[in-house]
Structure 1
Amino acid sequence: MPPVPAPALTVLTTTDSAESAERLARSAVEARLAACAQVSGPITSVYHWNDAIETGQEWQVSFKTTEERYEELEAQLTAAHPYETPEIIALPVVRGSAGYLAWLTAETSAR
């Protein structure tokens, strides 16, 4: 009987360049903190920072991981991220195909 998939998360962050986004994505996958990571962009972000409204181009990274690996992924992203206060948010995966979720669990469990 195959192992029961762990609760899955999609973790999002944004960064200032495609190179930075790819570096964050690759390091998380290499460390098995995420089964995969997808880079999208450029996107336009509008946000408050230092009492001003800023607008800038960013690249978004979407990490596929498990609840079990979240804390380590957050720590790695925080340490490697070029931003002073990076966006790191986790969204629960409410449903997914059994095969994909089993693969995600296996890839983030392997060491």
Structure 2
Amino acid sequence: MRPSLNRIVLYAKDVQATCAFYERHFEFECEFDANGRIAELVSPHGGAIIMVHQAGKGLKAGQASVKLVFDVEDVEGFKTHCAKQGLEFGTSHQADGYSFANAKDPAGNPISISSRRFAIGR
């Protein structure tokens, strides 16, 4: 199993303004998923995809608002592999043909494993 870091989640109070910022200044192209919940910013120059999610009401400006997302084809298999090494992920969630699970690194930063990259039509 070889996880790769290809996505970074930004939590934003104003998703549209955040997308417009990256489109205008860094040439990213914004595309929303089918239900309009997640915006994906993709650079025509390659590199990581920035996923923009609506921030929770309790998030304050300046708080950590980034999550690293590691692409893995088999979320459950990777969770089992990590558990053997002492890293426990939370409950797996299903969304639009893919699954994901969350954990925290030793510093308390949120991380996620996701099969979104491997979902049909992505």
- Say yes or no: TM over 0.5: no
| Structure 1 or 2: more helix by fraction | 1
**Structure of greater relative contact order (alpha carbons < 8 Å, 6+ residues apart):** 1
Q: Tell me the TM-score normalized by structure 2.
A: 0.29
